């Protein structure tokens, strides 16, 4: 037995050394890429031009510089010194530059820290970076295959088809019936949410409001996409909303097993929990939504909602399977978790910075004539500071962009990138660097505000399908008259900030960003219309850098009903 143990130990050491030398080889080796040289034009006697045949050649590129990896762990130990990996990525950029390589476990990675390079990766060369990391956790969350997920799958024909099917429902234009439906659903649900909130609020006392907010967001999504909502006291619904929230927190975390898959046996209990959460969600969607909808689905071309569109595609398109629509529904309904967590972050920042809440309330009182009606989605143009607050929460929390994976050998900025390289887009650097922002560590929604005259606004809105209504609201709420319309400075949200990419860019940009912005606006505005938000212990309000999620059991907040409308 002693000799057997010794032999195993020696073999383990030899294997580790071999693996380490392989990592070093991969770290040092140059990348050879086959490129196509464009055909040159050759002049002939008649002064015409005849194209020659294109030629291919192999070109060699060095890999980007970076820290030398340690055996087994690579550079994981270095990143472990920081609260979140993106802080470590930013620190390494000061030494190695805006584009550098790093090895995590045995996985070759590339970190992109500069706006121009990010655009080169996601826009100009997006076709080469359409993959996603092959993390074991991602597979567990989607029935054993992460390609069942819209966000975590590799780019494919099926992925394109799924996005096309979802686009009009998840990215509604301002003048569409879906946009009107989104506004109506949001306002209707806020009436029911406020009734629930009124029952549990004890003036001035902290309580855990997150579960209630998550249920409201889930009902908005289920009503908008499936024309069904659930009672706030429905125990099964409450459990599923909790599962979704747990999964959203999970996806926003990083684990050693992601890059050291041989640790999987030590994560067995954790992986089983992920599998159970997602299985319970699918069972609920099947029993409470899909089965009931199939019985009422008509044969005509009318689509009531996203669920109808999916079920009709199942009937008409042989390439669409029942699993496809189940996972799509799970994926898109799960989007409510992003909104609920964003709202919780916003309320937390407002509790920390009460002047922000008061300024939002002044906007609300002006647009609603001191509470004569609820805030709707069509008020966004007239409430720029509220929209700016949502943007500042996204910037300040610096939601990370899901890593990409190179699907073939390519090059970026003169450096070779091998197929399978995991590419981290350091959005944290874009959102917190003094290169791009004044006082980036300060929570300041006004950084997203600019002023313009009505004439300028009218010019900018000329192509908007809702221009007439937007202009009417702006004129009414800002006291614009024929005498001052050329000189009066009106606040509006800054447009086209190139370094602000909360929903990523390129072909894998977040397809549900309009839903996130729209529903979060409705929730925040209607809560603040009635309540002041504060905390009796601000030290409990803990946010996490480079993370748009807060734990399911997070900080409590206090709600005090407003006695008078703001002046």
Which helix (H) or strand (E) element contains residue 362? helix 354-367
Q: Which residue has the tokens 């909602």?
A: 305
The CA–CA distances, whole Å, from 517 to 378, 380, 451, 465 equal 12, 10, 22, 18
Please provide residue 66's backbone torsions phi and psi, each rounded to the nearest 5 degrees: 170, 175
How far is the C-alpha of 187 from the C-alpha of 201, rounded, in Å?
20
Q: Angle 210-226/306-316 helices, nearest 10 degrees?
A: 50
Whether 237 and 230 have beta carbons less than 8 Å apart is answered as yes
Q: How far is CA 211 from the centre of its chain?
A: 21
List the binding residues for heme.
Answer: 510
List the binding residues.
Answer: 510
Bridge partners for 33 per DSSP = 59
Closest CA relative to residue 60, chosen from 28, 107, 14: 28
- Cα of first residue to Cα of last residue in the chain, in angstroms, is 84
| All residues at 6 or more sequence positions from 332 whose CB lies less than 8 Å from its CB, including other chains | 150, 166, 170, 221, 225, 306, 512
Closest CA relative to residue 126, chosen from 504, 546, 514, 499: 504
Whether 447 and 438 have beta carbons less than 8 Å apart is answered as yes
Q: Give CA torsion, residues 288, 294, 300, 306, to 10 deg.
A: 40
Where are any strands of DSSP class E within 91-193?
99-104, 107-112
Closest CA relative to residue 333, chosen from 450, 443, 214: 214
Whether 378 and 183 have beta carbons less than 8 Å apart is answered as yes
How far is the C-alpha of 460 from the C-alpha of 467, rounded, in Å?
9
Whether 416 and 99 have beta carbons less than 8 Å apart is answered as no
């Amino acid at each position: 037995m002693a000799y057997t143990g010794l032999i195993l130990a020696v073999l383990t050491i030899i294997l580790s050394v071999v693996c380490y030398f392989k990592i070093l080889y991969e770290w040092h080796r140059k990348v050879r890429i086959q490129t196509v040289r464009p055909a040159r034009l050759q002049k002939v006697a008649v002064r015409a031009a005849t194209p020659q045949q294109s030629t291919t050649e192999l070109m060699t590129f060095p890999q980007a510089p970076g820290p030398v990896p340690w055996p087994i762990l690579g550079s994981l130990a270095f990143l472990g010194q920081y609260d979140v990996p993106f802080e470590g990525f930013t620190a390494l950029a000061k030494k190695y530059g805006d584009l550098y390589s790093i090895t995590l476990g045995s996985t070759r990675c590339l970190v992109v820290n500069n706006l121009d390079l990010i655009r080169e990766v996601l826009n100009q060369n997006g076709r080469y970076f359409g993959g996603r990391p092959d993390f074991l956790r991602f597979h567990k969350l989607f029935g054993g295959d992460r390609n069942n997920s819209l966000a975590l799958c590799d780019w494919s024909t099926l992925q394109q088809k799924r996005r096309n099917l979802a686009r009009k429902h998840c990215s509604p234009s301002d003048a569409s019936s879906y946009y009107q439906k989104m506004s109506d659903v949001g306002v209707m649900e806020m009436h029911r949410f406020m009734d629930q909130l009124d029952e549990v609020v004890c003036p001035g006392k902290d309580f855990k409001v997150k579960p209630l907010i998550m249920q409201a967001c889930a009902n908005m999504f289920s009503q908008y996409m499936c024309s069904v909502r659930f009672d706030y006291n429905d125990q099964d619904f409450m459990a599923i909303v909790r599962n979704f929230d747990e999964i959203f927190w999970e996806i926003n975390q990083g684990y050693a097993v992601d890059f050291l898959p041989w640790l999987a046996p030590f994560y067995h209990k954790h992986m089983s929990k992920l599998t159970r959460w997602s299985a319970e969600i699918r069972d609920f969607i099947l029993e409470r939504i899909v089965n009931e909808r199939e019985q009422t689905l008509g044969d005509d071309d009318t689509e009531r909602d996203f669920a109808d569109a999916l079920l009709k595609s199942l009937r008409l398109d042989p390439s669409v399977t029942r699993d496809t629509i189940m996972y799509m529904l799970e994926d898109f309904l799960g989007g409510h978790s992003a909104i609920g967590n964003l709202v919780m972050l916003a309320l937390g920042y407002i509790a920390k910075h009460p002047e922000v809440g008061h300024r939002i309330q002044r906007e609300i009182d002006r647009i609603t004539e001191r509470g004569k009606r609820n805030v709707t989605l069509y008020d966004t143009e007239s409430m720029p500071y509220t929209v700016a607050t949502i943007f500042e929460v996204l910037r300040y929390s610096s939601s990370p962009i899901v890593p990409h994976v190179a699907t073939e050998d390519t090059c970026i900025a003169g450096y070779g990138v091998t197929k399978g390289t995991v590419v981290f887009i350091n959005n944290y650097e874009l959102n917190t660097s003094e290169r791009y922002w004044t006082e980036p560590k300060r929570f300041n929604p006004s950084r997203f505000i600019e002023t313009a005259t009505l004439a300028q606004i009218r010019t900018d809105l000329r192509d908007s399908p809702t221009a007439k209504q937007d202009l009417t609201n702006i004129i009414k709420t800002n006291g614009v008259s024929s005498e001052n319309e050329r000189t009066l400075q009106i606040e509006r949200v800054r447009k086209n900030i190139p370094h602000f990419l909360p929903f990523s860019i390129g072909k894998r940009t977040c397809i549900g960003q309009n839903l996130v912005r729209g529903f979060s606006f409705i929730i925040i505005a209607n809560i603040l219309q009635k309540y002041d938000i504060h905390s009796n212990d601000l030290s409990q309000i803990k946010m996490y850098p480079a993370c748009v999620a807060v734990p399911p059991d997070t900080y409590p907040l206090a709600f005090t009903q407003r006695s008078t409308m703001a002046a």
